[in-house]
Amino acid sequence: MKFLATLLLFLWLGAIQAADIENGDDLHFEHCTGCHDSGVYTRANRKVGDLARLGQQVRFCRDAIGVTWFDDEVDDVIEYLNTTYYHF
């Protein structure tokens, strides 16, 4: 019984910390579409080849344009891009 309670707690905490794809979409639309259209994510010679690189690129762009996103907002954008375009 204790194991089940612990497992449920971890699942609940994981759900709380899950990225918010809708927020990622909103942040992407507001801050990224001025420089990027969807073609940058779907082109054959794209720079991003895995999830770690996607995270690096999102952080690079965030810093380059000077937005002040919290870590969870960065995660939201990464999750949005991965779910919508990359599928890593």
What domains appear along the chain, each with residue ranges and CATH number?
19-86 (1.10.760)
| Neighbour count for residue 34 (Cβ, 10 Å) | 9
HEC string of 11-63?
HHHHHHHCCCHHHHHHHHHHHCCCCCCCHHHHCCCCCCCCHHHHHHHHHHHHH
Q: What is the pLDDT of residue 2?
A: 66
pLDDT of residue 72: 95
**Is residue 17 predicted with pLDDT exceeding 80?**
no
Residue 36 clears pLDDT 70, i.e. is over it: yes
Please determine, for residue 77, whether its predicted confidence score (pLDDT) is greater than 90: yes
- The pLDDT score that the predictor gives to residue 16 is 46
Which pLDDT score is estimated for 80? 97
pLDDT at residue 85 in the model? 94
